[in-house]
Structure 1
């Protein structure tokens, strides 16, 4: 299955996921934010990407797309996973389809742009006049979801619509907002060309073979508040590297893995992505949320743990089904600390506070001077604070 989250996107998951209507073919919808009205005679300053992200994650969440795309820098924020509907289309009761859901996927992209915007002193009449930075990556990801490189109602070349209910219901591909039935917007006015490779209508997705990047990717993503990709640093980088080695994907390391993300981490992660069936830009070695969760079994979080959460996990996980995770991201922080203290084998740092973790924590308690029933493997305030001080995480009640 393709990545639910665009590799390289900044993730601001709005929740409120909802399935699409699978009887319709896959679609992508092209929008521009058009947040200001400007003309050739009276251009206006571009409205920043950050402003639009703040809008769609705040008061504008009720009309949020999947992707908010800055065509000048290539930065992209994703608000819904690919298999959920988003909310940027009108869907009145008289419409025969639920427009935001009318496809196996209905992926909506808002380019942060309005005609005759002024950016760094230059005026851009059309979206295609911008650098369209990051477009190839967005296009490849959408194509991986089976959206063909066709415009059933014509590639947008101006601000007019061509709404055809029959085409909308029966043909997959790319649609301008101006072409969606029962909508009244006329954007985007223009849209960048498709690149060669994924999404070609001449062959189905299962027969497409995008060419992987020629050199290691050097950008970062944020997942659950932590950075991944070239230059990222932290315990989560070490956790990924060790998990890759444990899975047999460590051939590019000359030393480590360690807390600094290097090209070797990228190359090893790309090998792992390839083993999952990803290709092209979806296998560039920078994690997506789905592949990271599959590698680790949890998503690492900020280095803070709750005593009550750890106690609950230590009492629940050993008697539950093998691999059961209660507060898995917090347990993983403690487990990694126990690994680094030499008390737990790396293979058992999996986010489940099972019997081996209980035994390792009991060994830590004994190291702290506790005996008998006070060294039962159930975390307490004092011992957990001491472990946090030794290994660099904070502890809350």
Structure 2
């Protein structure tokens, strides 16, 4: 069994939706710490926090150390399985949406071809990590990529561009399927979509490769 690495305390907040939360809740139930009425789900809730606080107290924590927000020590003790088996692929970086503008087709882009794959979707559509990895870079590029982040995994950088919002920060460890951003149309974009680009780790613009995973 592959275990889910600790995604950071800031990951656990109202509005966060991820299969990691479901996997955590299932482990809390197994530990006899459930405060759920209908069982754990993918959205962080007060029941998740209450259940996790019960687990922290079970470990002997008290006071601010038993506030129901996971920390590294308690997370490692809970041993949450990776919801995707550790490195397994998801079907799309924008679940439920397929490629609408393919990679490397010729056109009026600055290099004469499309450097990634576009996934047209409504603004606010969740974007997820396609593999386990870490967020190696975040930034703003108002004339091109807009609001973006970079997932580094297995020697490659996966660029998520034109975002309306990032839901994880630089340096965060993330699991495949975890929500990391929301679709937008920031930067040079004619409408809301995710521009998904792949490069060798650390490579610059124009060193793109086929954005598979």
- Provide the TM-score with structure 2 as the length reference: 0.35
More helix by share: 1
More strand by share: 2
Which has the larger Rg? 1
- Provide the TM-score with structure 1 as the length reference: 0.20
